[in-house]
Amino acid sequence: MSKGDYISLIKENGQLVFTPGGTSMNPILRHHQCPVIIKAADDRTKLKKYDIPFYRRDNGQFVLHRIIGKNKDGFICCGDGQTAPEYGVREDMIFGILVGYYKGDKYIDVKRNTRYKIYSRFWVAIRPIRRVFAKLRSTVAGFGKKRED
């Protein structure tokens, strides 16, 4: 399936199932390992903080990132594996919303799974300090490397 088919398939079928690539949604969605179920979003869809919309940026890139807030320009989104927020995600860019995903054989319903709900709230809450931990981790990893002078 080509990426250009995503929007037409979700409009035709009301949902879309595929396995996304990339690392921006680590740790919950691993690169090409976790099939996702995306439900079509329409005018009645009320998106809120912690939801994961599927949207198309103005440059044509498809993105699956979590809503971490909202302002006058639209939603503020960020991948779970990232720390920098993306501003200005407008409702007209969004055509789907994550309703569930698979971890191995286990299906995770994002509206019903209590562990997932706790994770998503915790992960959003610590986003401002995740950058500090990432820098510490890379600094500590750098100490173990052999320097050549």
Q: Which tens digit of pLDDT belongs to each residue from 98-112?
A: 999 999 999 999 999
The residue type of 104 is: G
Q: Which tens digit of pLDDT belongs to each residue from 119-142?
A: 999 999 998 887 777 777 677 766
10 Å Cβ neighbour count for 47? Answer: 16
pLDDT score of 63 more than 70 = yes
Residues 6+ apart with CB under 8 A from 67: 47, 48, 49, 50, 51, 52, 53, 75, 76, 77, 89
By DSSP bridging, strand 86-89 and strand 74-78 are: antiparallel
Contact 101, 29 (CB under 8 A): yes
